[in-house]
Structure 1
Amino acid sequence: MQIEKTTSILSCGWLGLPLGARLIECCCCVKGATRSPEKLPILKGYGIDPYLINLNPEMGGENVEDFLSSEVLIINIPPEMRDDVVAYHYRQVASILQYVQDSPVEKILFVSSTSVYPSLNRAVCEEDASYSVSPIGDALLKVESLLMSEASVKTTCVRFSGLMGYDRKPGKFFAGKKELPRGGEPVNFIHRDDCVEIICRILKEEKWGEIYNASADVHPTKKEFYSEAAKVIGLEPPAFANENQEPFKIIDAEKLKADLNYTFKYSNPMDALHNTNEVELL
């Protein structure tokens, strides 16, 4: 895959670092931001030009203008868990846009989440997003709207479902717990390797001005998934009180698969649980 663009990633953590390393393999020049000084040499070791950038909530740090001297900016900053999350996250991204307006950036890819969807007891597509689902969801929707309405750039938003892979072991979440509810609820997950490849495919295919859901094809029940996830890492499986059908949602990623001609590396998250050869980069 050839993607000969200069790309800036804000920020280079659990997802951003392997994404940057993959983009370099695709002939990209990559600039990566972190707020942790100790991570600067790690980024440099992977061939990423490192920058110390913060958002508190205004954007600041060392050489912000040079960091944004790129064709593409990937914004990968999840909303922080705080009482004013909607206003705070909006101020963070609005501050980024102020710098972008005076930069060479032409395109933005925003990493969003399927937390923007209510539980409608059916498959949900991109048009089903709604406010008042959760404060995090509201923050993401407000920022998506801000970015998509910015005339100086073209923006694509990718709404990832639950992230798994490498050091994110879902089996730890409920291991050993008893009388858990909602055992029959379908789960929505995506492996990090798929996240990285989907973003690369969007850049390669120049799919801008779009909103995409990104979630594995298969949706096992909560009981099936978390029981197996605990067993795989040697922990006591959780016990569920019942498997009654509670309000649920199934993330529909058909638009993404069709537009990008994409086949998931891990179409069933149950299979991803058994991948024991993953080596974390950080």
Structure 2
Amino acid sequence: MTVLMAGCGDLGTEAGLRFAAAGHRVVGWRRSPEKLPASIEGAAADLSSGELPPIPADATAVVVAIAADAPTEAAYRAAYVDGLSNMLDAVQRSDAPVRRILFVSSTAVYGDAGGDWIDESTTPEPGGFSGRIIREAEELLLSRLGGTGITPVVLRLGGIYGPGRTRLIDQVHGGSALIPAESRFTNRIHRDDAAAAIVHLCTMNPVPAPVYLGVDNEPAELGEVLLFLAAELGLPQPPSGTAESRAPAGAPKASGEPSRGGNKRCSNALLRSTGFEFTYPSFREGYRDILAGVGVRYP
């Protein structure tokens, strides 16, 4: 099987390495293809530009793993809507035997659910421009591929953490972490499990469902995660409060895009029903593995 990774950042590269390790040919598109490992055939591409390399003639699966260049509405639209549209144009112009296109999405399309459980049957209600634009891209994928014989798959990932993604650890270690005054559930997935899920959904024999939630087994309150990290680091418990309570007097209040993730509990039952197994079923295993690898940074 030949897999085209349209977008080969950290997550796309890890997924590409796993495809290659399984014996598949992998072609990776990114702006700086020279940064890709040898097992991924790199090609220079900017999805938002519309000027893309030819689709590999024997490509049977495409993974679209896009990231916006900046946290702005324009950057999100250029990456997710324009980039995906250009990718689909290229596939539909080609004669490649593509049978499956997986789009890496986000649980941000659900917005805030007040701590309730949600799954693939829950109607998306984005709370900000990021979720709204990513949802628009999902709908574009599903509508464009209808009747083409190509199976669309949307993988809505929770907050990705892992190597190089240590924001919460850094906050606890640096003393800036705050336990929310009110309950706030968070959902996450280790980078390696996210990459493994991409490979699994692209290679499984049964035809996959249109949408899957890519989160680990245990939605957790943010405060619980911060307390766990403090204990693992041997540090005092972070204080409780809000971001505003730590802002300097007279500082402007944040506005615009709501806090990422919202307050919801995402179920991964559908993904697990396909036979997928997590290496890091909860934040505890994942963060312990990260700390074991970078402990020298956190004396």
TM-score normalised by the chain length of structure 1: 0.83
Distance in 2, Cα, partners of 1:179 & 1:101? 49
What is the aligned partner in structure 1 of residue 189 from structure 2?
190
Q: Which of 126, 144, 154 matches 1:157?
A: 154
How many angstroms does 1:33 deviate by?
1.3
| Correspondence list, 1:133-152, <5 A | 133-149=127-143, 150-151=145-146, 152=148
The verdict on how the C-alpha distance between 1:50 and 1:87 changes in structure 2, with shifts beyond 3 A counting, is closer
Q: Please tell me whether the aligned partners of residues 34 and 51 of structure 1 are also in contact (alpha carbons under 8 angstroms).
A: yes
Kindly indicate whether residue 121 of structure 2 is the aligned counterpart of residue 127 of structure 1.
yes
- Deviation digits for residues 169-208 of structure 1, max 9, x if unmatched? 1312454126653463222111112112212211221434
Residue 171 to residue 102, structure 1, CA distance change in 2 (3 Å): same
Q: Look up the match of 1:96.
A: 87
Aligned residues: percent identity? 23
Q: Say if 2:169 is the partner of 1:171.
A: yes
Q: 1:251 aligns with which of 246, 266, 285?
A: 266
Distance in 2 between the 1:146 and 1:182 partners?
A: 39
Write the letter of the residue equivalent to 1:154: T
- Identify if the C-alpha distance between structure 1 residues 69 and 177 changes in structure 2 by more than 3 Å, giving closer, same or farther: same
- In 2, Cα distance between equivalents of 1:236 and 1:19: 37
Deviation at 1:96, TM superposition (A): 1.2
- SS of residue paired to 1:8: strand
Q: TM-score by structure 2 length?
A: 0.79
The 1:53/1:277 distance shift into structure 2, 3 A limit, reads farther
Q: 1:65 aligns with which of 45, 54, 59?
A: 54
Does the CA-based 8 Å contact 2:112-2:264 persist in structure 1? yes
Residues 112 and 160 of structure 1 are in contact (CA less than 8 Å); yes or no, is this contact kept in structure 2?
yes
Match of 2:277 among 237, 243, 263: 263
User: Quick check: 1:48 aligned with 2:47?
Assistant: no
Deviation at 1:86, TM superposition (A): 5.6
Distance between the aligned counterparts of 1:196 and 1:183, measured in 2?
A: 33
Confirm or deny: 8 A CA contact 2:185 2:221 kept in the other structure: yes
Question: 1:262 Cα shift?
Answer: 2.1
Q: Distance in 2 between matches of 1:51 and 1:278?
A: 32
1:93–1:226 Cα change, 3 Å: same
Q: Counterparts of 1:178 and 1:71 in 2: how far apart (Å)?
A: 45
Gaps of 5+ in 2: 243-261, 295-299
Aligned Cα root-mean-square deviation (Å): 2.5
Counterparts of 1:115 and 1:173 in 2: how far apart (Å)? Answer: 22
| In 2, Cα distance between equivalents of 1:146 and 1:269 | 33
How many residue pairs get aligned? The number is 263
- Tell me, in whole angstroms, the C-alpha distance in 2 between the residues paired with 1:155 and 1:173: 38
Distance 1:200 1:138, change over 3 A: same
Partner in structure 2 of residue 113 of structure 1 = 106
Q: Which residue of 1 aligns with 2:23?
A: 27
The separation in 1 between residues aligned to 2:177 and 2:210, in whole angstroms, is 42
What's the CA shift for 1:22?
0.9
Q: Where in structure 1 are there 5+ consecutive unaligned residues?
A: none
Matched residue SS, 1:223: helix
CA separation of 1:101 and 1:233: change in aligned 2, threshold 3 A: farther
Tell me by how many angstroms 1:109 deviates: 0.6
